[in-house]
Amino acid sequence: MKKNILLPLSLLITILALTAAPLPAQEQRPEAVAKSNPGQVFQEILKSYESLKDYTTKIQAKVKMPGFRVPDFTAKLYFKRPDKFHIETKSFAPLPRNSGVFNPFLFDPEKNRITYRQAEALNGVRAELYKVEPLEDEARIRYYQVWIGGSPKRILQVESHSFKGTKALVQPEYQTVQAGSEKWLLPEKVHVHMTFPGGGQGPDASLFAAQDNPFSRGMGRIDNIPGEGDIYLTYSEWQINTGLDDGLFQKNRER
C-alpha cells in the first residue's frame, strides 16, 4: 500500500523560495548583466583612468601597406585630457588618429550612444561586445565596435568604421605603468589592421593625420592605397601627469 509523504510546511516554503530566487549577479547570463546599463560598464573603465591628466610616450612604428613605402619611424606623443594630442617626429609619420593615440576618454558614455551587442570569446577570453556611436556632429567615425573583458576589466579590441568606408581593427597589449603611488594599464604594443574601401576610393587621410602634425601634408600620398594594410606600434618611456602646457598643443595649429 502506497503511503502519502508530506513535507513539513516550512521545508516546502524554503524549497520554493530557493527555486524562484534569481541567481547571484556573477551567475546570471552575461547578456542580462550587460544589457542592464552599458554606460555603467564604460564608466567603470574610465574610472580607472580618473587620475590620468596627461602623458608623454615614445612610439616606434612599422607600416606595412601595399604600394605605400614608409620607413620605420619614431615619434614622441603628448596627450592631455580630454582629447588634446601633439606629435613630434623628424620623419613622415602616418599615425592613426583614433587608434595610435591612446585616449581612455574616447568612449565617454556622455559623448556616445552605447549599445550592448553580445557576449563572445575573444582569443580565449570572455568578452562583451558593444556598439559605440559618437554623438558629436564632427565625428570622423560612424561607429566603433568595442570588446570589453579580462581581469581587471579593460578594452580588449576596437574596430572603427569611418563614414568613408575605412575600417581599423585595433588590438592592444597592455603594460602596468606606475607614477608615484598610482598605477595605470597603458599600451605596450598595438596592432592596427586597416581595411580600405574598394571601388577605387582611397582611404580617408583625415583618419591618419594628427591635427597638429607638421608632416600631415604628406598624408595625401595614401589616397591611392588599395586593399588592406597593417601598422605595428610599440610604446615606451611613459611619463605621467607632468603638467603639460596647453600651448604645446596649439603650436602647430597656427601654421
Task: Give the model confidence (pLDDT) of 163-206 as tens digits.
Answer: 888 889 999 999 999 998 999 999 999 999 988 886 545 545 55
10 Å Cβ neighbour count for 129?
20
Q: How many domains does the chain have?
A: 1
Please give the Cα distance from 45 to 52 (Å, whole number). 13
| Least confident piece of the model among 16-20, 50-54, 229-233 | 16-20
Q: Is the pLDDT of residue 220 over 60?
A: no
User: In this structure, which long-range contacts are made by residues 199-208, counting pairs with CB atoms below 8 Å and at least 24 apart in sequence?
Assistant: 201/164, 201/165, 203/164, 203/166, 204/140, 204/162, 204/163, 204/164, 204/165, 204/166, 206/97, 206/140, 207/96, 207/97, 207/98, 207/140, 207/162, 207/166, 207/168, 208/94, 208/95, 208/96, 208/97
The tens digit of pLDDT for each residue in 130-165 reads 999 999 877 788 999 999 999 889 999 999 998 888
The answer to whether residue 26 sits within a structural domain is no
Please give the Cα distance from 70 to 107 (Å, whole number). 30
The answer to whether residue 216 sits within a structural domain is yes
Structure confidence at residue 251 (pLDDT): 58
The answer to whether residue 14 sits within a structural domain is no
Q: Is the pLDDT of residue 55 over 90?
A: yes
The answer to whether residue 5 sits within a structural domain is no
* DSSP 8-state code for residue 238: E
* Better-predicted residue by pLDDT, 233 or 23: 233
Q: Is the pLDDT of residue 235 over 80?
A: yes
| Least confident piece of the model among 37-51, 56-70, 202-216 | 202-216
**Mapping DSSP to helix (H, G, I), strand (E, B) and coil, where does residue 9 land?**
helix
* Better-predicted residue by pLDDT, 87 or 134: 134
The answer to whether residue 21 sits within a structural domain is no
The answer to whether residue 23 sits within a structural domain is no
Structure confidence at residue 4 (pLDDT): 44
10 Å Cβ neighbour count for 66?
11
Judge contact between 118 and 129, C-beta under 8 A. yes
Residue 148 sits in which domain range? 37-254
Q: Edge-to-edge strands of the sheet including 182-195?
A: 84-88, 73-80, 54-64, 228-240, 182-195, 167-179, 154-162, 141-149, 125-134, 112-122
CATH of residue 116's domain is 2.50.20
Please give the Cα distance from 37 to 162 (Å, whole number). 26
Average pLDDT score, the chain: 77
Q: Is the pLDDT of residue 92 over 70?
A: no
Q: Is the pLDDT of residue 232 over 70?
A: yes
User: How deeply is 194 buried, as exposed, middle or buried, from its count of CB atoms within 10 A (0-12, 13-18, 19+)?
Assistant: buried
* Better-predicted residue by pLDDT, 125 or 9: 125
**Mean pLDDT across 11-23:** 36
The answer to whether residue 113 sits within a structural domain is yes
The answer to whether residue 25 sits within a structural domain is no
